[in-house]
């Protein structure tokens, strides 16, 4: 398999963790590397991890209590050891593989990305970019090109996406100043300004899903802040 799977787990939401990790465990049992970031996870969630993902050299678990928020732990997961696969797939714990054949789904997802020559795939949305955000990018993002700035950013919503590993390495993603919100829009802008190809894809995947699996309907939990 040419994909490393990274997943963020938070708090005492074991049902969500189970929905997310159970299909991932099938991939893990078939040779896929998995990296888990655990922010203030409960004992029930820890027990679930131990049940579904027995220790091996293909499993990395990073734990923080109190939590360090989304992007610092993402940065740790990407840098704890070298990424040896061509692609990295990201899950928030309210996203999950809906397809009943996770292995076939992963193969199809990888093939789609290869066939479309995409640098990143995900479920695409648009968000206005404020003048202050534009100024922040100008000051803090080496890839920012003022002549390419648009009033709206196209981005893959942050609950699930897949990206070429070389993009993470080249652009040192995620930005070290990111904390918890705004990273998905910022990554979308990076893709655009760097001339990289972002392609829509949400086949067989529930992203930020409610109990019925509807996309972007999961309620926000825990810490919140304005987007960077």
pLDDT digit string, tens, across residues 171-188? 999 999 999 889 999 999
- For 30, counting Cβ atoms within 10 Å of its Cβ (0-12 exposed, 13-18 middle, 19+ buried), the class is exposed
Q: What pLDDT sits at residue 82?
A: 97
Interhelix angle 183-193/70-79, rounded to 10 degrees, is 50
Whether the pTM exceeds 0.85: the reply is yes
Sole residue written with tokens 């987007």:
227
Q: What is the dihedral of CA 210, 61, 162, 97, to 10 degrees?
A: -40
CB 122 within 8 A of CB 161: yes
pLDDT digits (tens, 9 = 90+) for 101-154: 999 999 999 999 999 999 999 999 999 999 999 999 999 999 999 999 889 999
Pure H helices in the chain: 14-28, 43-52, 70-79, 102-115, 131-140, 165-170, 183-193
Q: Tell me if 2 sits within 8 A of 31, measured CB to CB.
A: no
Where residue 194 falls among pLDDT bands split at 50, 70, 90? very high
pLDDT digits (tens, 9 = 90+) for 75-84: 999 999 999 9
N- to C-terminal Cα separation, the chain: 34
């Amino acid at each position: 398999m040419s994909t490393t799977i990274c997943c963020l787990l938070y708090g005492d939401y074991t049902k969500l963790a189970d929905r997310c990790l159970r299909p991932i465990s099938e991939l893990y049992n078939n040779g896929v590397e998995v990296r888990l970031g655990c922010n203030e996870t409960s004992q029930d969630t820890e027990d679930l991890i131990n049940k579904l993902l027995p220790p091996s050299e293909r499993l990395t678990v990073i734990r923080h209590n109190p939590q360090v928020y989304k992007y610092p732990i993402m940065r740790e997961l990407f840098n704890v050891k070298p990424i040896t696969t061509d692609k990295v797939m990201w899950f928030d714990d309210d996203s999950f593989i809906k397809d009943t054949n996770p292995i076939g789904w992963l193969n199809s997802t990888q093939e789609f990305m290869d066939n479309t020559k995409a640098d990143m795939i995900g479920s695409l949305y648009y968000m206005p970019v404020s003048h202050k955000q534009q100024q922040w990018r100008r000051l803090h993002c080496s890839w920012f090109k003022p002549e390419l700035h648009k009033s709206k950013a196209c981005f893959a919503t942050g609950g699930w996406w897949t990206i070429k590993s070389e993009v993470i390495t080249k652009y040192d993603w995620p930005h070290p100043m990111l904390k918890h919100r705004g990273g998905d829009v910022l990554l979308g802008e990076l893709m655009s300004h760097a001339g990289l190809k972002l392609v829509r894809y949400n086949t067989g995947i529930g992203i930020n899903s409610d109990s019925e699996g509807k996309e972007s309907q999961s309620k926000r939990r825990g810490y919140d802040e304005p987007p960077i």
